[in-house]
């Protein structure tokens, strides 16, 4: 099952949307390039197992 969620780029601060695979577990992380500035962000994804609410924190990929 997939859903989408928004995150703010760790570099430029612009908002972007990404797909989240809910079957991959409640704690995920991966690298995705910003859709605006093209710089790589580390996405730390948390999925609430009861409500399926998605939270995304970002960090710089150096």
- Quick one: pLDDT at residue 8? 97
- Quick one: pLDDT at residue 56? 97
Q: Which domain holds residue 35?
A: 2-60
User: What would the two tokens of residue 42 be?
Assistant: 């580390």
Question: Band of the pLDDT at 13, cuts 50, 70, 90?
Answer: very high
Q: Is the pLDDT of residue 61 over 80?
A: no
Residue 48, number of CB atoms within 10 A of its CB: 10
- Whole-prediction pTM value? 0.88
* CATH code where residue 49 lies: 2.20.25
SS3 state of residue 22: helix
pLDDT digits (tens, 9 = 90+) for 22-54: 999 999 999 999 999 999 999 999 999 999 999
């Amino acid at each position: 099952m997939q859903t989408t969620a928004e995150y703010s780029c760790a570099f430029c601060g612009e908002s972007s949307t990404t797909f989240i695979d809910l079957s991959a577990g409640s704690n995920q992380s991966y690298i995705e390039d910003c859709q605006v500035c093209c710089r790589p962000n580390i996405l730390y994804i948390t999925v609430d197992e009861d409500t399926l609410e998605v939270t995304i924190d970002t960090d710089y990929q150096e």
